[in-house]
């Protein structure tokens, strides 16, 4: 079938799915979550900036409930460190079994998994409650109770509606990296929005101006987004924008693992 204005060519999505078969979680973690990008020495670096966006948003106490769903978790848990204090259950999701397995190994505390302790220690520091980082780690492990397969290109991304719908939704660097174009990005956002209850909060972190990224043998295409593309997609998906921030990637962090110009953080409400 030809590509219509509403949907990209079937083979485009098929090519994306094929590309993800070569996604290497360890390489991906190395590229983005070790120095120089995982540099906690200054608030000017990208990881402290991302963690601060989330910590400040949850610090208001306005966002809480029973279930938070994380869309496209990949092999990472840093994005859940502030969220886990405000929800009884965290549901992680990813398209690839290798990522779901990496998350499961971390939750079970198995040896050889990625060391997130610098991230946990930093979040405890900026949350300023003097909480021992091992307690935060224990709480996230206790509450990260489901790790589900997801495909954001499906109107029902989990294959069936979430019952009850999630009270909050978080997604970090996923939608733009799995959408062939802006229309597909906007549609994927609407699809995942269906997992969220009316009035629920959505927190999005993502890449601006990115056209590709590397994850081992995989070189994945990304739809380059501008800030207004994100705003338009959110309002088009029925969200009210509550907060929008962006970060410009400094030259020192342009390491060749992608061509990211910047990072956005959006807080929206359904």
For ligand JIL, the closer of residues 214 and 241 by Cβ is 214
103 is a site residue for ligand JIL (CB under 6 A): no
List the interface residues with ligand JIL, window 196-255 (CB under 6 A): 207, 210, 213
For the bound state, the minimum distance from the C-beta of residue 132 to ligand JIL, rounded and expressed in Å, comes to: 26
Q: Are 267 and 57 in contact (CB under 8 A)?
A: yes
Binding mask 60-79 for ligand JIL (x = CB under 6 A): ------------x-x-----
173 is a site residue for ligand JIL (CB under 6 A): yes
User: How far is it, in rounded angstroms, from Cα 42 to Cα 266?
Assistant: 22
User: How far is it, in rounded angstroms, from Cα 118 to Cα 112?
Assistant: 16
For the bound state, the minimum distance from the C-beta of residue 61 to ligand JIL, rounded and expressed in Å, comes to: 27
178 is a site residue for ligand JIL (CB under 6 A): yes
Contact region with ligand JIL (CB under 6 A), list: 55-63, 109-117, 145-153, 226-234: 145-153
29 is a site residue for ligand JIL (CB under 6 A): no
Tokens found for residue 174: 């996923």
Q: The tokens 């997130």 sit on which residue? A: 116
**Residues 8-41: b if buried by 16+ CB within 10 A, e if exposed:** beeebbeebeebbeebbbeebbbbbbeeebbbbe
In angstroms, the Cα distances linking 154 to 47, 73, 79 are 30, 17, 24
Tell me: cis bond preceding 164? Omega within 30 of 0 counts. yes
Q: Which residues contact 9 (CB under 8 A, 6 or more apart)?
A: 1, 2, 3
96 is a site residue for ligand JIL (CB under 6 A): yes
Among positions 153, 187, 267, 270, the unique one binding ligand JIL when judged by CB under 6 A = 153
Contact region with ligand JIL (CB under 6 A), list: 110-118, 120-128, 144-152, 224-232: 144-152
For ligand JIL, the closer of residues 37 and 86 by Cβ is 37
């Amino acid at each position: 079938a030809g590509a219509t204005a509403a949907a990209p060519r079937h083979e485009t999505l098929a090519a994306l799915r094929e590309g993800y078969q070569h996604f290497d979680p360890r390489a991906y973690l190395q590229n983005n979550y070790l120095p120089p990008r995982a540099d906690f020495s200054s608030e000017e670096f990208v990881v402290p900036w991302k963690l601060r966006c989330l910590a400040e948003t949850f610090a208001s106490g306005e966002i809480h409930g029973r279930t938070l769903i994380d869309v496209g978790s990949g092999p990472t848990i840093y994005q859940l460190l502030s969220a886990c204090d405000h929800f009884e259950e965290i549901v992680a999701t990813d398209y690839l079994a290798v990522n779901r397995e990496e998350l499961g190994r971390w939750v079970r505390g198995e040896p050889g998994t990625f060391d997130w302790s610098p991230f946990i220690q930093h979040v405890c520091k900026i949350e300023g409650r003097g909480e021992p980082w091992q307690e935060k780690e224990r709480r996230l492990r206790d509450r990260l109770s489901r790790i589900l397969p997801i495909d954001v290109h499906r109107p029902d991304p989990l294959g069936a509606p979430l019952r009850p719908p999630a009270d909050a939704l978080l997604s970090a660097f996923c939608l733009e990296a799995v959408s062939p174009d802006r229309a597909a990005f906007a549609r994927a956002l609407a699809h995942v929005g269906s997992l969220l209850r009316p009035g629920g909060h959505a927190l999005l972190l993502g890449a601006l101006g990115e056209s590709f990224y590397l994850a081992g043998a995989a070189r994945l295409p990304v739809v380059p987004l501008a800030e207004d593309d994100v705003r338009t997609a959110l309002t088009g998906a029925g969200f009210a924008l509550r907060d929008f921030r962006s970060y410009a990637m400094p030259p020192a962090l342009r390491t060749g693992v992608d061509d990211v110009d910047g990072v956005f953080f959006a807080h929206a409400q359904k």
